[in-house]
Chains A and B, each alone.
Chain A
Amino acid sequence: MNVIQGIGARVVAQIEEMGAMLLFLLRSFGWLFQPPFRLFQIIKQMHFVGFKSTFVVVLTALFTGMVLALQGYYSLRKFGSEGLLGSAVALSMIRELGPVLASLMVTARAGSAMTAEIGIMRITEQIDALETMAINSLHYLITPKMVASLISVPLLVALFDVVGIGGGYLVGVNLLGVSGGSYWSSIESAVEWRDVYGGILKSISFGIIISWVCCYKGYFTKMSAEGLGKATTESVVLASVLILVWDYFLTSVLL
């Protein structure tokens, strides 16, 4: 009986946590439409989530594009269709790798920092201090972060796509000798609006997932240094897993 009770308690706890997470998301978004709008906070967060992630995003994009071209070239050569290299690189970038990899990089760089920042504010009673000043802590702390990552992640993904395709060009054309004209023209003929649109939709939803999970884990940190460390790890793992799982379902709907 105790085993069954234990399983039951865990299931109930999980469901409760899911409910709490959902409420957290809805409340934070609800505050978006209430004044004051804290434009400065949003810009500050965009600088942190967006601008400061550009270097790592450009670097990963470059190498992802390069390795895609390398792999694609050897596969396509077997069928004598190296000319399609551009479209192979561009489609996998725009549809899949751009949104997923850029979001994972943002999670690792900005998401973990979000959890740590909010978690420290929780432990040192700064969140309580906000509440005692009759300032809603979700409105002040979380909403600007969500808006910022909602705007920044799609922009970073766009950058990732462009740099990735450039990296593919570098390896495919300059190194492996595919003709530059056919690289670009195959992209032009293969990539449709709905590919781009799907990528944008993915990146927007990943932006929400990152700020949602990472802010939630920080906001409900256990009151200790160990708890904060655990919350940061959990937020990165959970956000990354959710991004990949959600990516599958979104892809299956979009196809």
Chain B
Amino acid sequence: MGTPIIIQLKGVEKTLGGQPVLRGVDLAIPKGAITTIIGPSGEGKSVLLKHIIGLMRPDRGQVLIDGVNIAQIHGRELNQIRKKFSMLFQSAALFDSMDVFDNVAFPLREKRLVSDSDIQRYVPEMLERVGLGKMGHKFPAELSGGMKKRAGLARALVMGPEIILFDEPTTGLDPLMAHAIHDLILAMHKTFGFTGIMVSHEIPRIFPISDWVAMLKNGKILAMERSEEFQRLSDPLVREFISVPNAMATT
């Protein structure tokens, strides 16, 4: 591929509740790009994402982050690796006991990396970037789905992570809002240059914002190609999955 690899999964297997979900996933994520993992619902895309950040551990196989197998490490070592990461959750996972400002400031305050006056300056700036300029005092319960995602994205960006994981960032949003969130992710990627890994089934919308696309099917990676080439793949399973929404979008 030419580009350096930042995350590599080797033969990752996971069984949940007696059901095999991942059956030997091999995946290499290029650095600095946006890679989108697509696949039918219930195929374990979110499970795969949770393995990458160590929220779940594989039954078998390796998850290498910059060459370190996080399936084998715990506690402090794992937290060291996690400092490279942020994650935007499907539900945004904002802390509902805090307002938006405190949510975004939370990682900075917890890690005590910056002074309070810097937080007062930096957090509104970040909220402005994601389009929540005047929303700092609102509580998550008062926000719409799209605004929650924006706030979640601000919180994910605030520590300046190398890698951001997006778990279905547009699920539950109307098409306009989904489009806006995709644009926002793309804009932030241009600004901050993180490695993005996105799980989504928003076809065809994900193609223009992704550099790479991988498809998870039957617990394995069926194909991984550059976004343009992926759309031309002739594999019947891929075609079936990506052509239905395409056809629907054109009609």
Contact: B93 with A133, CB < 8 Å? no
Contact: A134 with B79, CB < 8 Å? yes
Contact: B96 with A126, CB < 8 Å? yes
Q: Give chain A interface residues in 113-157, CB to chain B under 8 Å.
A: 120, 124-126, 128-129, 131-136, 140
Contact: B93 with A129, CB < 8 Å? yes
Looking at B84-92, B122-130, B233-241, the stretch in contact with chain A turns out to be: B84-92
Indicate with 1 or 0, residue by residue over B66-103, a CB within 8 angstroms of chain A CB atoms: 00000000000001101101110111011110000000
Residues of B within 8 A of A129 (CB): 87, 89, 93, 95
Q: Give chain B interface residues in 165-215, CB to chain A under 8 Å.
A: 165
Contacting B93 at CB < 8 Å: which of A124, A136, A140? Answer: A124
Chain A nearest CB from B199 CB (Å) reads: 14
Instruction: Kindly state whether residue B53 has any CB partner on chain A within 8 Å.
Output: yes
Residues of B within 8 A of A132 (CB): 53, 55, 82, 85-87, 165
Complex CA distance for A36 and B165, rounded to whole angstroms? 27
Instruction: Kindly state whether residue B229 has any CB partner on chain A within 8 Å.
Output: no
Which residue of chain B is the closest to A125 with respect to CB atoms?
B93
Indicate with 1 or 0, residue by residue over B105-125, a CB within 8 angstroms of chain A CB atoms: 011001110000000000000
Sampled A-B contacts (7; CB under 8 Å): A120-B96, A125-B91, A128-B87, A128-B93, A132-B87, A133-B82, A133-B86
Q: Give chain A interface residues in 134-184, CB to chain B under 8 Å.
A: 134-136, 140
Query: Interface residues, chain A, CB within 8 Å of chain B?
Result: 36, 120, 124-126, 128-129, 131-136, 140
Residues of B within 8 A of A135 (CB): 107, 110
Query: Interface residues, chain B, CB within 8 Å of chain A?
Result: 50, 53, 55, 79-80, 82-83, 85-87, 89-91, 93-96, 106-107, 110-112, 159, 165
Complex CA distance for A186 and B106, rounded to whole angstroms? 57
Chain A nearest CB from B8 CB (Å) reads: 20
Which residue of chain B is the closest to A127 with respect to CB atoms?
B93
Contact: B96 with A133, CB < 8 Å? no
Contact: B95 with A126, CB < 8 Å? yes
Supposing A132-B87, A135-B110 touch, asked if A124 and B82 sit within 8 A by C-beta, the answer is no
Residues of A within 8 A of B55 (CB): 128, 131-132
Chain A nearest CB from B109 CB (Å) reads: 10
Contact: A134 with B95, CB < 8 Å? no
Complex CA distance for A136 and B82, rounded to whole angstroms? 11
Complex CA distance for A140 and B86, rounded to whole angstroms? 18
Chain B nearest CB from A39 CB (Å) reads: 14
Closest 4 CB pairs of A and B: A129-B93, A125-B93, A134-B79, A134-B82
Contact: B107 with A133, CB < 8 Å? yes
Contact: B91 with A124, CB < 8 Å? yes
Complex CA distance for A133 and B90, rounded to whole angstroms? 16
Residues of A within 8 A of B165 (CB): 132
Residues of A within 8 A of B79 (CB): 134, 136
Complex CA distance for A128 and B167, rounded to whole angstroms? 12
Which residue of chain B is the closest to A136 with respect to CB atoms?
B79
Chain A nearest CB from B112 CB (Å) reads: 8
Complex CA distance for A246 and B93, rounded to whole angstroms? 38
Residues of B within 8 A of A126 (CB): 93-96
Residues of B within 8 A of A125 (CB): 89-91, 93
Which residue of chain A is the closest to B78 with respect to CB atoms?
A134
Instruction: Using A133-B110, A134-B79 as known contacts, list a sample of 5 further A-B pairs with CB atoms less than 8 Å apart, ordered by residue number in A.
Output: A36-B112, A128-B50, A128-B89, A132-B85, A133-B82
Complex CA distance for A125 and B85, rounded to whole angstroms? 16
Residues of A within 8 A of B112 (CB): 36
Which residue of chain B is the closest to A128 with respect to CB atoms?
B55
Residues of A within 8 A of B110 (CB): 36, 133, 135, 140
Complex CA distance for A136 and B159, rounded to whole angstroms? 17
Chain B nearest CB from A94 CB (Å) reads: 37
Residues of A within 8 A of B82 (CB): 131-134
Residues of A within 8 A of B86 (CB): 132-133
Complex CA distance for A145 and B157, rounded to whole angstroms? 30
Complex CA distance for A124 and B91, rounded to whole angstroms? 7
Chain B nearest CB from A249 CB (Å) reads: 34
